Amino acid sequence: MPHLLRFLSHNIHKLLHAYISYQLSVISYQLSVISYQLSVISYQLIELFTLLRYRQVLPTKGLSSLLIPHSDENCYIYFLIPTHN
């Protein structure tokens, strides 16, 4: 009987270890996905703030800007148009 208990205890320990290892790998994958998404959002925010800054600076340089949607729904073509003062 002690051998059976030792055998069961050892197998339960191995299963628990495998389950914890699997859960940690799932968490690691989820964190990598979140990290990637945050980097994409960060890049988009930098683009947005750069665009907003250009829109503030351009009138002082005698230029106006025009955003035209591209075929890609997340992409715009940015045109600079001279203003006539």
Distance CA 13, CA 6 (A): 10
- Kindly report the CA angle at 43 between 40 and 48, in degrees rounded to 5? 125
Residue-by-residue pLDDT tens, the chain, 85 positions: 678 788 888 889 999 999 999 999 999 999 999 999 999 888 888 877 777 776 666 566 666 666 665 666 556 565 555 655 5
**Residue 58, C-beta contacts closer than 8 angstroms, at least 6 positions apart:** 64, 65, 80
How many other β-carbons are positioned within 10 Å of the β-carbon of residue 3?
7
Give the residue extent of every domain in the chain: 2-60
Q: Which helix (H) or strand (E) holds 78?
A: strand 76-82
Other C-beta atoms closer than 10 Å to the C-beta of 5 total 9
pTM comes to: 0.52
